[in-house]
A and B are shown apart, each in its own frame.
Chain A
Amino acid sequence: MDFGFTEEQNKFRQEVRNFLEEEIKKGYWEPACDAWIQGFDPEFTKRVAQRGWIGLTWPKEYGGQGLSYIDRLILTEGMLRYGAPAACHWFADRQIGGSIVTYGTDEQKRELLPKIISGEAYIGLGMSETEAGCDLASLQTRATEDGDAYIINGQKTWTSGGSFVNYFYLLARTDPEAPKHRGISEFIIPADLPGINRIPMIDITGTEAWNDVFFDGVRAPKKCLIGEKNRGFLQALQQLDYERSGMERLMGNYPLFDAIVQFTKENKLSQEPVIRNKLAQLRIEFEVGRLLIYRVALVMDEGRAPNREAAMSKAYSTAFEQRLAKAAMEVLGPYGQLVSDSKLAPIRGLAVHSYLASKGYSLQAGTSEILKNILATRGLGLPSS
């Protein structure tokens, strides 16, 4: 075992830190919770792209850097620590690019990967439907072959950043006769195709967090199909593992952690035994979660999809984020309820925002219940009946 990093990795960590601190110093953006999923800033994404930091783990032949998932974790950990607005490229970088590398045609790789890498393709996820949540394979959006195209009809929901994206990744049913897991295909389609309508959904914090996306006779060229027809669900399972794998599940509201610790120091609350105990416990839980996530990256570096490992780290980590928000509210007492633009609001209203936003953390990308099912059955071998 070796819990250290290579010299290059330490240098890279420092480089990421310098870049982000410089960005903040220049006033380009302010650290925010959930910025990885809600901070849509095309200019920031371009600057990240210029450094070659999108597609870090993809093979060099496709324009990636051929680096490890540990390296990518160092990068994303930095982004999250500083609450950087990385939402434009986050999804494509985390999971869609990898799917294209694995399942895409040469043409798709030539067309899409460079656009992701250069920070121009923002890809939204079209997976869940109103009647297909945890039971994703029951989805009903249809893609029907018609000449050189698929005609797409249906509705997707919970698409993060749906208003901003210029591509949709889509799971749609291509064989309604087949068993439900075996009649689904994956597509990546331009978001400006005729027949696509997006309706923003406002979350509990008052933020536009998702879109409902409607597909009404959308004609998608056949070249939009990713991988094998009707094997999309199996292909997507691996993608879900990647979706759950990262540090954003632990550090989505990290700016709150820094802020509340700083707040207690500045206001002499840090001498209170109860508060010391609370914050130290959070730090312990955070560090444990961080190790669980680094383990996930090591599994990915072995070339294995991190199924049970990511299920574990995601369920654990989102619960941590919720405890962090809860603890921060407790530390602030009645001031905790003041929202960001209120008079007297402490720490920019981060605590109350996160308290509300964190309710969704344990739902998105696999509810904690589904994840524990995965861990128990596939990880520990417990029987499903």
Chain B
Amino acid sequence: MKLTLTEEQEMIKKTARDFLTDKCPKTFVKQMEESDTGYSKELWQEMAELGWMGLAFPEKYGGGDMNFLDLAVLLEEMGRACLPGPFFSTVVLGGLPILDLGKEEQKQEYLPKLINGEKILTLALTEPGYQNYDAASVTVEATPDDGNYIINGTKLFVPDAHIADYLLCAAKTKPENGITVFLADAKNPRINCTILKTVAGDKLCEVVFDQMPVPKANILGQLDQEWSAVQKIIERAAVGKCCEMVGNIQRVLEMTVDYAKERKQFDRPIGSFQIIQHYCADMATDIDGARFSTYQAAWMLSEGLPCTKEVAIAKAWIGEASQRVVALSHQIHGAIGVTIEHDLHFYTRRAKAAELAFGDADFYREVVAREMGL
């Protein structure tokens, strides 16, 4: 057992910290939230040149040959910086599933372009109505028609679909939970994409497939049999979100402790009052718990070990822990923390969005209950 980063991971962390401190100040984050695209092409290209998109992909596709645990370190830094843009969508929701499920020619076709920053990918999974992240919740249908499948229906909360080149779309191809993943051309005119306005200012979209044809060759993995693959995509995405959140709440704690040391009332720093100290101690505990449970799940994913329970523990924990951390931070910051001038709101808003993404604590408690044999 070991809970420290490798030398290489320390390097990734430092490079990312330096780069993002320089390139992704909160003024930039704000600008991206207000922009139509939600990302900067220049920054995207620089990230590609740093090898970030390719980090966790094999060298033969142009990748850095590192693993998910290494990527976790990078995602943590991105969460810390509130980095806007389609990195998560492209790499975690798009690229890694292709690496897992794709045929060699599919990998050859998509991965190098993703890695060099040319193409943006995302995942169309959730749908209107109650979302339970199970096969039965997928109702968008794909029906065979000559050499194509025709996809019809509405997907919701699809991140970055408005700028994506390709969509991974989970669709129903057989009654009784026969699910297939398709690689669809996101620019096809039979896709209608509307940006939804979200709490975090990220770009989640409604994506309507209107009788959209997708060639059979674009099936990713097996026909009718990929719910388990989708589940793995969800698990990985949940852990990826946790990594971002670890970076988020760690930064929130640092801002809070700094503020508690500086802010004086009654002629002393408020951080010298035990109530504030205990709030901070509680935050630190929540964060360390989040960090270790997240990295445990990331390590297991990286090692290819079954980790449904560990993923559920991490996401359930961080969903609620991050809300507690943010709430205490606001309490300690006082009124300045609820103004738009202060940086805290960037973290508060993202923490809420991340809590909702890929299953909240209630959802994962039920997963844990099943894993306990209840």
Contacts and interface: CB of A to CB of B under 8 A. Distances in A.
A209 B282 CA distance: 30
A280 B361 CA distance: 10
Given A288-B293, A382-B277, A312 B285 contact: yes
B4 interface: yes
Interface string B1-30: 111110000000000000000000000000
B277 A373 contact: yes
A276 B373 CA distance: 10
A46 B135 CA distance: 56
B276 A284 contact: no
Contacts of A295: 3, 288, 292
Contacts of B292: 288, 291-292, 295
B365 interface: yes
B1 A298 contact: yes
A207 interface: no
A44 B285 CA distance: 36
B281 interface: yes
B366 interface: yes
A316 B317 CA distance: 14
- Looking at chain B's contact residues, the main secondary structure is helix
Contacts of A276: 365-366, 369, 374
Interface string A266-278: 0000110001110
B315 to A, nearest CB: 10
B372 A376 contact: no
Contact of A382 (B280, B289, B365): B280
B257 interface: yes
Contact of A383 (B253, B271, B281, B288): B271
B228 interface: no
A4 interface: yes
A281 interface: yes
A280 B293 CA distance: 15
A35 interface: no
A284 B278 contact: no
B272 A382 contact: yes
A288 B289 contact: yes
A317 to B, nearest CB: 10
B300 interface: yes
B374 A384 contact: no
A280 B367 CA distance: 8
B173 interface: no
A127 B274 CA distance: 25
Contacts of B313: 283-284, 287-288
Nearest to A302: B4
B285 to A, nearest CB: 5
B271, B281, B310: most-surrounded residue (chain A CB, <10 A): B281
B368 A288 contact: no
Interface residues of A, number: 45
A283 B368 CA distance: 8
Contacts of B4: 1
B169 to A, nearest CB: 31
B69 interface: yes
Nearest to B368: A280
A376 B296 CA distance: 26
A264 B373 CA distance: 11
B368 A375 contact: no
Interface in A351-385: 369, 371-373, 375-377, 379-385
Interface string B290-305: 0011011001100100
A170 interface: no
B145 interface: no
A379 B281 contact: yes
Most buried by B among A264, A373, A380: A380
Given A280-B365, A280-B372, A380 B280 contact: yes
B118 interface: no
B144 interface: no
Nearest to A384: B272
Given A276-B369, A288-B293, A381-B257, A261 B269 contact: no
B289 A383 contact: no
Interface string A127-146: 00000000000000000000
A186 B284 CA distance: 33
B93 interface: no
B6 to A, nearest CB: 8
Nearest to B2: A2
A233 interface: no
A261 B3 CA distance: 31
A186 to B, nearest CB: 29
A261 B2 contact: no
Contact of B281 (A5, A264, A294, A372): A372
B3 A298 contact: yes
B261 interface: yes
Contacts of A5: 1
B316 A284 contact: yes
13 contacts: A3-B295, A3-B300, A5-B1, A276-B365, A288-B292, A291-B289, A292-B289, A294-B3, A376-B278, A377-B277, A379-B281, A382-B257, A385-B268
Leading 9 A-B pairs by shortest Cβ distance: A376-B277, A291-B292, A372-B281, A280-B368, A276-B369, A280-B365, A288-B289, A270-B374, A375-B281
Given A376-B278, A380-B257, A383-B268, 6 more contacts: A1-B4, A4-B303, A264-B374, A275-B374, A295-B292, A372-B278
